[in-house]
Amino acid sequence: MRVKVLVLGADGFIGRHIAFALRDAGHEVIASARRVERLQAMGFRTLRADLTDPASHAPGFWAEVQDCALVNAAGLLTGNEQAFAAVHDHALRAVLAAVAGPCLHVSAVGIEADTPFARWRRVSEQVALAAGAMVLRPGLVMAETSYGGTSALRGFAALPFVTPVVGTGAQPFNPIHAADLAVVIAGMLAELQPGVWEIGGPEVLTQSELATGLRRWLGLRPVPVWRVPGALARLVGRVGDALRLGPISTTALRQLEQGVQTDPAPLLARLTVRPRGFTAFQFARPAGTQDLWQARLYLLKPLIRLTLAMMWLVSAGLGLFLPGSAFLPHLPALPEGLALTMARAGGLADLALGVALLRDWRPVLVARAQITLVLAYTAGLSLLAPALWLDPFGGLLKNLPVLALLLVHLALVEER
C-alpha cells in the first residue's frame, strides 16, 4: 500500500537512508530538514523546517503535511538546553499533533546515562508515546557511507601504529545497516507496532572485533589493539566537548565504553524483515580509495582546525603586543604609526579567526574568511615589501602551503 510519509531529519545520515528506502518501496516521501537543497537535487519533495525555530513549534506550521504518516529521525547529539528542548520536545509535539497517519519516532539505545543527549532522548520518547507513536531504538547504525560515530570508528581503525578501543574492548555491539533499518521502519509503518522496540543486527561483536574488522576491510595491515583506560577516555571526551570535536565527545566515548547491543528478537518476531550481520554487509563490497582517505582524514580534520586556530592566535598576539619598531624593518616604506595601526588591526582580525576556530563557529564562513585574509596579507605585503618573498626563513613563501592547508580545511568542513 502506497503511503505518504513525512521524514523529519531527512538530511541526516539515518534520515537519508530512510527517505530513499521509503521512496524505493513506492511511498510518497516528503523530506524535511533545515537545509533541503541537496534533497531537492536528489528528486525529493521537500519541506524546509528548522526545528529550533519557534515557528515550527505550532501545529499550523505542519498543516500541509497533516495527511501524512511520520518518521522522526531528527535529533541532536550536542547543543544547549534551548536547542535540545526545541528539537526533542516543542517541535515534536507540534508535528505529532498535526499529522494524521501512523507515527514512528527514531530514538537510541543506551539513553539511561546522565547526559543532555540521553536526558532529552528520554523526553522525546515520552512525548512520542503520549501521542500514540511507535518508538524505535536502533543500536549502532552503519552503511557504505559514514557519519559521526561511525566515521570516528573508521578513523580509529585507520591509525598507523595502534587500533584504540575504549576500556577492555570486550563491550558487545550488534550493528545494523542503515538500509536494513529503513526497511524495518517501512514494515512498522505498514503494520502499527505500538510501544518501544529495539533493533540491531544478528551478529554480536566485541568493540575490538568491530575495530579490527573495519581495519581489515580498509585493507590495512594488523596493528596492536590499544585498550584506552576509561578514565583517560572520559578526559579526552571532556576535551572534545570543550573544543567541539564532534563524535570525540563524552557521549560518544561513553557509548563505546558501555557497548551498544540491542535485543531485536521481539520486533523481528512481528516482521518478515531480517537484517544482515556486520560481516555480511561490511564485506559485501571492497573499500575504495575514498573510504581510506575519509578514514585517515577524519581525525586529521580537528587537528587541522586546532593547528590553524593556534596559528591565528599566535599571530594575533604578535600583531597586538609587539611594538611598532618591530614592524619597521619589514615595512620600511610606511611611517611607524601607520605600520603599528595596520599590525593592530591585523591582530584583531587574527584573534577573531582564532577564537571562531576554537569554537567551531560557522565553519564554512570562517574557512572562507581565512583564505580571504591570507590572500589579502599576501597581496598587500607583496606590494609593500616584495623582498619578503626572498626571506631566508620563508617569509611570504610560507603563505603558499598555508593556503593549501586552508583549502583542505574548507573541503573537510562539510560532512554531509
Confidence category of residue 328, pLDDT binned at 50, 70, 90: low
Is residue 149 a contact partner of residue 214, using CB atoms and an 8 Å limit? no
Which pLDDT tens digit goes with each residue over 65-85?
A: 999 999 999 998 878 899 999
Confidence at residue 2, expressed as pLDDT on a 0 to 100 scale:
74
Confidence at residue 337, expressed as pLDDT on a 0 to 100 scale:
81
Confidence at residue 166, expressed as pLDDT on a 0 to 100 scale:
94
Which pLDDT tens digit goes with each residue over 240-279?
A: 888 888 778 887 888 888 899 999 999 999 999 999 999 9
Of all residues in the chain, the percent with pLDDT exceeding 90 is 73
Is residue 134 a contact partner of residue 104, using CB atoms and an 8 Å limit? yes
Return the CATH class of domain 1-138: alpha beta
Q: Domain-by-domain residue ranges, the chain? A: 1-138, 302-413
pTM of the model: 0.89
Which pLDDT tens digit goes with each residue over 97-132?
A: 999 889 999 999 988 877 788 899 999 999 999 999
Is residue 207 a contact partner of residue 171, using CB atoms and an 8 Å limit? yes
* Ramachandran angles phi, psi of 250, nearest 5°: -60, -45
Cell numbers 582524514 correspond to 297
Is residue 157 a contact partner of residue 295, using CB atoms and an 8 Å limit? yes
Mean pLDDT of 34-57: 95
Distance, CA of 102 to CA of 7 (rounded, Å) = 12
H and E: helices and strands count for the chain: 17, 13
Query: Count of CB atoms within 10 A of residue 223's CB?
Result: 14
